[in-house]
Amino acid sequence: MSISCSELSKVYEGGKAGWPALLGVSFEIKPGEFTAVTGPSGCGKSTLLNILGLLDEPTGGRYLLNGRDILEMSDGERSDFRRDQIGFIFQSFNLLNRLPALGNVCLPMMYAGIQNAEMQHRAHALLAKVGLKGKEKKTPLELSGGERQRVAIARALANSPKIILADEPTGNLDSASSREIMDMLLQLNAEGITVIMVTHDKELAARARRNLRMKDGRLEA
Amino acid sequence: MRSLFNAARTGIREIRVHKMRSVLSFMAIAVGSVVFIDSFAAIFSTYDRLQKQKEVSGIARLKITQDYNQTSADPDQYTPPPVITYDDAVSLKSKLPGLYMVSPEFQSWRNTLEFEGKRVVTTLAGVTPEWAKRDFVYTLKGRFLDWHDVENKLRVCVLVRKAVPPPTNELNKTRMKQWDYTAAFDVLVSHSDMLGKTIKLDDVTFTVIGILEELPASRAPDIILPQNRDYKVLAPVTTLAHYGFIDEENDSMDLSVDAGDENNFGESLKLVENFLKIRFGGDESFLIDNQMEMIKDAIDASIKASLVTISLGMLAFLAGGIGIMNVTLATVFARTKEIGIRRAVGASRGDIMLQFIVEAAMLGLIGGVLGSVLGYVWGVPVKEMLGLGRSPIKLWMPAVSVLIATFTAFVFAIYPAWVAASLKPADALRTE
């Protein structure tokens, strides 16, 4: 799964001229790369990640995902792409608190129409992989921050995605948990998954193979 | 199918988690359901009543009376209008045998009745057996007048025993005393066993051969045109003429006619007019009351009243539906973040829409079932307790009501669900 962006821009509506978040960003990411996007807050990192994850649309430029222009995709196709090819990990976990860990991991598989037995089996396996065996029935509110993020990783892996997009995955975690999550991401990358991680933690960024530094909506050289 | 099942599962969880919200939604729809069932039952009881009324009263009715209001430019030239006699009735029946009923009626308003030394004021009606063919809302003890009585001018009579009047207030009681000059008659008839005994009507001896008992108000079928129903004593019209109760030269009878077939009513009306023209040299001396028109008006009025009721039921559903819309919209805004999360993990717009619509339809379904139960409780035990009479609730009424409740909720959830599906995933995720 290759990613290619050229002159990507995003202007949010509001005010006379709108509010520019991205001002022409161009880069390419090859399959299997581990890329960290760093920069001060408000520099457009999250906006870029949302666009890369098809949660938002650019207002200018081109974004080719696996050779396809995402602006030409229908909403349904983008939903399918998010479901099957992309896994998200958010700073605030974004788990459904009403569902147990198992239910959260099942969610993407539910939308993929996977049979119940298969879904349960895979969710158990994924939770075991992230070290949460025995905590399948716990709701996010009963889990620690690090555990919640591991549920989120298990969820991101549910439909065997090609890309993991992580938006400040360790922003709400202590340093021990942060290291564990980072180890997990590196492990996944080693298994062949493309990882793009937004962070402003320089230490974590240093462990990534490639760094994209952003400032004021542009990439620094 | 799977996604529908998943949406239903999510819906059940949401309904369980938000108990207050769900209960309020159920109530909104349930109230609509109750009103709907109640109005449907009302329509059916009206319909039933109309059917019974039609059977009892007939439809193709007309009434011929002498036109008293004859005017003449010169008082000396005034000739009184011709009177209708028993013979005219017999003649009409023989000329037009197709008529279901030709009932000659003569009312005498102030007579005395003497029984075992008691004298009371009564009214007297001269009739034939034809009288009993329509508007017969009594139970009969003994027998009614027959043609033998009429042809032989026998001194026999039938008395009407009033049903216990429904409870009334003091003002009405005073008024009744003031106006009801035959109250003593009613008391006498209800407290004495007069069947088979002899009585004196204005000093002529009659034998009581039958008692007509009015049914209690709650069970009596209504008659569509209830005017002049205050019968007390019924005797053969020929007997009354023979013994001087009727002055056949001057007293005109009314002819109550049922043409039998409402489709031929116009034709029957023409034939009756023709008959009067031939027999009396013109029909302007008589009034022909087209009672069918009045009856049809009365029926139309009942049906219109029912339509008002059913529209109230539909309005109640509409109100319930708007309630559901409101709740669903509020739910969408409360769960924007969740919508964002679901979209991020791959839910399509259709998935989100389905989820909210299914949830609302379930609220409607449960509300409809609840409303059906409440509707039954209100319509049968509660109404009976309040003395309103039980509603004739048929099994399909709750079923239809549940369907409409679900459908209403479904329709009113479409807009909120569309709002939910139109949220941009990134925007939805950003909300807290």
Number of Cβ within a 10 Å radius of residue A159: 20
* pLDDT (tens digit per residue) in B149-173: 999 999 999 999 888 766 667 777 7
Q: Are residues B146 and B215 in the same domain?
A: yes
Structural contact between residues A132 and A101, judged by C-beta atoms closer than 8 angstroms: yes
List, for residues A39-81, the tens digit of each pLDDT value. Answer: 888 888 989 999 999 999 999 999 999 889 999 999 999 999 9
Q: Is the pLDDT of residue A182 over 60?
A: yes
Q: What is the DSSP string of A27-79?
A: EEE-TT-EEEEE--TTSSHHHHHHHHTTSS--SEEEEEETTEEGGGS-HHHHH
Dump pLDDT digits (tens) for B324-359.
898 889 889 989 999 999 999 999 999 999 999 999
> Residue B228: is its pLDDT beyond 60?
no
Q: Say yes or no: B161 contacts chain A, CB-CB below 8 A.
A: no
Residue B77 domain flag: no
Whole-number pLDDT of residue A127: 96
Residue B64 lies in a domain: no
In chain B, residues 322-341 whose CB comes closer than 8 Å to chain A: 337-338, 340-341
Higher per-residue confidence, A182 vs B261: A182
Number of domains in chain B: 2
Cα–Cα nearest to B420, from B344, B341, B323, B335: B335
The pLDDT value recorded for residue A72 is 92
Of B225, B259, B284, the residue at which a domain comes to its end is B284
Full strand arrangement of the beta sheet holding A218-220: A86-90, A163-167, A194-198, A34-38, A210-215, A218-220
Q: Are B383 and B36 in contact (CB under 8 A)?
A: no
Residue-level pLDDT at B168: 66
Distance (Å, rounded) from C-alpha B7 to C-alpha B28? 23
Q: Which residues of A touch B424 (CB under 8 A)?
A: 55-56
pLDDT of residue B71: 63
Q: Using one digit for the tens of pLDDT, what is the confidence trace for B274-284?
A: 888 888 876 67
Residue of A110, A116, A167 for testing the chain B interface, max B β-carbons within 10 Å: A110
Could you give phi then psi for residue A102, rounded to 5 degrees? -60, -45
A115 contacts B11 by C-beta, under 8 angstroms? no
Find chain B residues with C-beta within 8 A of A50's C-beta: 426
**Closest among A158, A174, A167 to A199, alpha carbons compared:** A167
Query: Does B95 have pLDDT greater than 60?
Result: yes
Sequence-separated (6 or more) residues with CB below 8 Å from residue A210: A33, A34, A35, A36
B219 and B342, same domain (yes or no) = no
Beta-carbon contacts of residue A176 (< 8 Å; ≥ 6 apart): A146
Strand partners, B303: none
Confidence of residue B295 (pLDDT cuts 50, 70, 90): confident
The token duo for B255 is 């002819």
Residue ending a domain, among B256, B284, B312, is B284
ipTM, two decimals: 0.95
pLDDT in the model for residue B220: 65
B231 with B185, same domain: the answer is: yes
Both B99 and B47 in one domain: the answer is no
Specify the 3-state DSSP secondary structure of B319. Answer: helix
B344–A50 CB contact, under 8 Å: no
Asked whether residue B321 is assigned to any structural domain, the reply reads yes
Residue B268 lies in a domain: yes
How big is the A-B interface in CB pairs under 8 Å?
A: 65
Between CA B79 and CA B162, with CA B65 as vertex, the angle to 5 degrees is: 135
Q: Examine the pLDDT at B219 and tell me if it is beyond 70.
A: no
Q: What is the pLDDT of residues A110-157, one digit of tens each?
A: 999 899 999 999 999 999 999 999 999 999 999 999 999 999 999 999
Q: Confidence band (pLDDT; 50, 70, 90) for A221?
A: low
CB contact under 8 A, A96 and B338: yes
B309 and B261 both lie in a single domain:
no
pLDDT at res. B386: 86
Residue B43 lies in a domain: yes
| pLDDT tens-digit readout, A186-201 | 999 999 999 999 998 8
| B163 and B303 belong to one structural domain | no
**Angle at which helices B396-422 and B349-377 pack, to 10 degrees?**
150
In a domain, B76, yes or no: no
Partner-chain contact B426 A113, CB within 8 Å: no
Q: What does pLDDT average to over chain B?
A: 86
Angular region, A160: left φ>0, alpha ψ -120 to 50, beta rest: left
Determine, for residues B345 and A80 on separate chains, whether the beta-carbon distance falls below 8 Å.
no
Identify the pLDDT of residue A26: 93
> Are B154 and B203 found together in one domain?
yes
Residues of chain A contacting B343 with CB distance shorter than 8 Å: 55, 79, 82
Query: Would you state the pLDDT for residue A129?
Result: 93
Residues B26 and B142 grouped into a single domain: no
Quick one: closest CA in A to B421, which residue? Answer: A75
Residue B371: CB atoms within 10 Å? 31
Q: What is the pLDDT of residues B21-79, one digit of tens each?
A: 888 888 888 888 888 888 888 888 888 877 887 888 888 888 888 887 766 667 777 77
Overall average pLDDT of the B309-314 stretch? 82
Say what the pLDDT of residue B72 is. 65
Interface residue B4 vs chain A (CB under 8 A): no
Locate tokens 């995720």: which residue? B429
CA distances from B124 to B105, B228, B229, B236 (A): 10, 12, 12, 10
Q: Is residue B41, in this structure, part of any structural domain at all?
A: yes
- Both B278 and B302 in one domain: the answer is no
Chain A environment of B425 (Cβ under 8 Å): 54-56, 82
- Give the best residue of B345, B348, B352, B418 to mutate against chain A (max A CB count within 10 A): B345
Chain B partners within 8 Å of A75 (Cβ): 348-349
Task: Enumerate the β-bridge partners of residue A88.
Answer: A165
Percent of chain B residues topping a pLDDT of 90 = 35
Could you say which of B222, B254, B284 is where a domain stops? B284
Q: Is the pLDDT reported for residue A11 higher than 80? A: yes
- Around Cβ B272, how many Cβ atoms within 10 Å? 23
| Domain match, B195 and B158 both | yes
Q: A105-114, B158-167, B192-201: lowest mean pLDDT where?
A: B158-167
| Rounded Cα gap, residues A152 and A117, in angstroms | 21
Classified as helix, coil or strand, A118 is helix
Q: What is the pLDDT of residue B162?
A: 85
Instruction: Return mean pLDDT, chain A.
Output: 92
B424 closest CA partner among B357, B316, B308, B340 = B340
Same domain, B237 and B312: no
* CB-count exposure of residue B368 (10 Å: 0-12, 13-18, 19+): buried
Segment B174-184 shows an average pLDDT of 76
Task: Label residue A202 by pLDDT band (50, 70, 90).
Answer: confident
Domain match, B406 and B366 both: yes
- Could you tell me the pTM of the whole model? 0.73
Highest mean pLDDT: which range of A11-20, A35-44, A158-167, B268-277: A158-167
In terms of residue numbers, what domain contains B18? 2-53+298-429
Please give the single-letter amino acid code of residue B23. Answer: V
Residue type for position A179: R
Structure tokens, A18:
């709108």
- Residue B388 in any domain: the answer is yes
